[in-house]
Amino acid sequence: MSTNRSHLSDEAVRALTLSTEPWLSCEDCFALSDEFAELVLADPRTEAMGPMFVHLSACPACAEEAESLVALVAETAGVDATPALARLHAAHRG
Ligand SMILES: [Zn+2]
């Protein structure tokens, strides 16, 4: 008799049960993305956008969008996006 009920990976379970207060919706995330890109480029270690990082860590679609925007804003401003992108990658991995 099989009692194997773990269809979900540990990672999926963690994402679903993650405590995410205050939670941002994808729409909120999108609305804040310009500000977020500028903040994270100015100080990659910023905790000012904590809820945004929480959302990005759980939402690959928004994380991808944010990375593209950060790269674009950095290029426009002539700054190095590497530290900010590293911070975003760290956020995804939790
Ligand atoms: Zn999202």
What is the pLDDT tens value at each position of the chain, 94 positions in all?
555 566 777 776 666 555 555 678 999 999 999 999 999 999 988 888 888 988 998 899 999 999 999 999 999 999 999 999 999 988 776 5
Measured in Å, residue 80 CA sits from the centre of ligand 1 at 25
Measured in Å, residue 7 CA sits from the centre of ligand 1 at 24
Residue 67 lies in domain: 22-93
Measured in Å, residue 28 CA sits from the centre of ligand 1 at 8
Phi (first) and psi of residue 66, to 5 degrees: -65, -40
Measured between alpha carbons, how far is 23 from 70 in angstroms, rounded to an integer?
21
Tell me, yes or no, whether 83 lies in a domain: yes
Tell me, yes or no, whether 42 lies in a domain: yes
Tell me, yes or no, whether 1 lies in a domain: no
Give the count of domains, the chain.
1
Measured in Å, residue 64 CA sits from the centre of ligand 1 at 10
Nearest to 54 by CA among 66, 42, 70: 66
Tell me, yes or no, whether 16 lies in a domain: no
Tell me, yes or no, whether 28 lies in a domain: yes
Tell me, yes or no, whether 55 lies in a domain: yes
Q: What is the pTM of this model?
A: 0.72
Measured between alpha carbons, how far is 47 from 41 in angstroms, rounded to an integer?
12
Tell me, yes or no, whether 71 lies in a domain: yes
Q: Determine if the peptide bond prior to 22 is cis (ω within 30°).
A: yes
Tell me, yes or no, whether 65 lies in a domain: yes
Cα 50 to Cα 10, 24, 59, distances in angstroms: 24, 10, 14
